[in-house]
Copies of this chain bind each other. A is one copy, B any other.
Amino acid sequence: MRFFDDVSVGDRFTGGPVTVSAEEIIGFAGQFDPQPFHLDHEAAASTLFGGLAASGWHTAGLTMRMIVGSDAKLAGGYIGLGVDAVTWPKPTRPGDTLRIEGEVLEARLSAKRPTNGVARVRIVTLNQKDEVVQTLIANLLVPTRASLAVPA
């Protein structure tokens, strides 16, 4: 387990793979992004998507799953204070196999919670053709070893 003390700018981590099916794409969209281009290939064909595409928020959820399973192994888990940017350069398609590549951009002690640090990370989600389907810059709360001595 890595604490904030063990995190350095430039550290890299990876996660995945995860494969996503048409059924999963449609299922997610039905719950969270019920728009024709995320629900139906025919309907999507006449839009700029050109065919069934996953909701960007589905790609984000899959990315989070891969972050949790990644080799970053952060103590205390992955607690997002917030996100600075998300882009979706290409859609995630049925059958795509995704993976993530992460990098620590900044690391600073938290002003509000000084037994924690904040790690600013860039996480790039790629498909099997090494095309980028999402970029994410997020701020994670990472406990210091000293936090272990603090009563819960």
Contacts and interface: CB of A to CB of B under 8 A. Distances in A.
Prevailing SS type, chain A contact patch:
mixed
Nearest to A77: B35
Given A37-B77, A48-B79, A56-B80, A31 B85 contact: no
A82 interface: yes
B87 A85 contact: no
A138 to B, nearest CB: 9
Specify how many copies of this chain sit in the oligomer: 2
A10 interface: no
A13 interface: no
Interface in A22-59: 28, 31-37, 46-48, 55-57
A25 B37 CA distance: 26
A1 interface: no
Contacts of A152: 46
Contacts of A60: 57, 60
A68 B28 CA distance: 14
Contacts of A65: 31-34
8 contacts: A32-B62, A32-B65, A35-B77, A36-B77, A37-B77, A81-B87, A82-B85, A86-B86
